[in-house]
Structure 1
Amino acid sequence: MAITHRNVVELMASLDNSLELDGQVWSQWHSLAFDVSVCEIWGALLHGGRLVVAPEQVARSPEDFHALLVSEQVCILSQTPSAFYALQTADGLQPELGQQLKLQAVVFAGEALEPPRLRPWLDNHPGAPRLVNMYGTTETTVHASFREVVNSDVDSNASPIGVPLAHLGFFVLDGWLRPVPAGVVGSCISPAPGWGAGTGGAPD
């Protein structure tokens, strides 16, 4: 999927409205082959921040990565939920180190979030950092929606995806591409302005 510079700039502008990104320290935990790395890299570089690239052997070890977050004073962390659950376990095993974290926001992406599994983190870190669940696809330039997780969310198994980012929109349509009423199951469609520029000549 070919993603334009404009797509990335629009994404980061929308995130800046929600996360206050200027001058923050970001971690790059994800591979360059995974679209979330686009957000990690440009979130830091487009806002005068600092990017901490996790070495592969550190990224594979929740304990070592936890220590890296502390030593580098990372503010913005992006994780798949499953990776974060492992990091959460490492944090629980070293509570004194965990209290030294400077995280301001943890952004979840890449798979469905299971809110009840965040209970240990919320108990150990009340009030901070912000936990943000985002939904999106590569075609919509990494992230398409924003939802800040609140304490009451951990009582539900539903993965809350929130509302569209400012430069996007959602429609829920039936099999005939007609809007469905609230509460009716359908397909979530995002209109074209935030989409990438196609597959670069590769077959669909």
Structure 2
Amino acid sequence: AYLIYTSGSTGQPKGVMISQRGLSNHMLWMQEQLPLRATDAVLQKTPFSFDASVWEFYAPLLAGARLVMAQPGGHQDAQYLVEVMEREGVTRLQGVPTLLRMLVSEGGLERCTQLREVFSGGEVLTLELAESILRTHDELKLYNLYGPTETTIEVMWQEAERDRVYAGEEVSIGRPIRNTQVYVLDAEMQLVPVGVVGELYIGGAGLGRGYLKRPALTAERFVPHPYSTEPGARLYRTGDL
């Protein structure tokens, strides 16, 4: 489906090969679980060098909704984004918490009266920010997304439920999307008990093919799946604890 470069935590760029299967699985999950309507408008403002841009492009086109394209570099200008969203009646927005915090602090989200869904990803969504976003509109829904580039955009999601956030409950990264498995394992690839620290491993339809022309690194990060009966099944080692 596509090749995209990421540096991750190493700082060394590497080309991640994502399959059509993985992309299709993600987009079908999104439309089934978080459907767009023909009257919706999605803001596309993420540079295409980041995989978060992929669903900004495809989600509205697959659903017959409207794709609103921001100008190049527009993602760095909060005031410009607010003007575009307000003028075009954007109903769905995604962004990293740093950007969302800027939009909230400048009163921008309050002006976007058509906005009904905000998606946060790429950084930790703090309780304080989640509450600030939800208080901008009574009907606004907020979702927290998690996923490495190697596993096709996002693989886990959680709605930030208003009552729980207002009660002081942190927003987790939630549960896996369809056809995805997530494990917390120790150094011996054994499942750890609830409450014990372990490394997050991801398997399923969204798993990338590996790194372009980097077989050693691919073997290091895409490891045999010890809990699958499917021949050749693998897990991705996220490095996240």
- TM over 0.5, yes or no? yes
Q: Does 1:12 align with 2:27?
A: yes
Amino-acid identity (%)? 28
Query: What stretches of structure 1 move > 4 A for 4+ residues in a row?
Result: none
Q: Does 1:137 align with 2:148?
A: yes
- Pick which of 42-51 and 135-144 moved more: 42-51
> Which residues of 2 match residues 126-165 of structure 1 at below 5 A?
126=138, 128-151=139-162, 152-153=164-165, 155-156=168-169, 158-165=170-177
- Pick which of 48-57 and 24-33 moved more: 48-57
Question: CA contact under 8 A between 1:14 and 1:167: conserved in structure 2?
Answer: no
> Which residues of 2 match residues 47-196 of structure 1 at below 5 A?
47-91=63-107, 95=110, 98=111, 100-126=112-138, 128-151=139-162, 152-153=164-165, 155-156=168-169, 158-196=170-208
Question: CA contact under 8 A between 2:130 and 2:160: conserved in structure 1?
Answer: no
TM-score, normalised to structure 1's length?
0.89
Secondary structure of the residue aligned to 1:191 is: strand
Paired residue total = 198
Q: Give the Å deviation of 1:85.
A: 0.4
Q: Which has the higher helix share?
A: 1
- For 1:91 and 1:135, locate their aligned partners in 2 and report how far apart those are by CA, in whole Å: 26
RMSD over equivalenced CA pairs, Å: 1.9
Q: Give the Å deviation of 1:180.
A: 0.9
Q: Give the Å deviation of 1:145.
A: 0.6
Query: Which residues of structure 2 form unaligned runs of 5+?
Result: 1-15, 218-241
TM-score, normalised to structure 2's length?
0.76
User: Which structure would you say has the larger RCO, counting Cα contacts within 8 Å and 6 or more residues apart?
Assistant: 1
Partner of 2:17: 2
Computing the radius of gyration over CA atoms, which structure comes out larger, 1 or 2? 2
Query: Which residues of structure 1 form unaligned runs of 5+?
Result: none
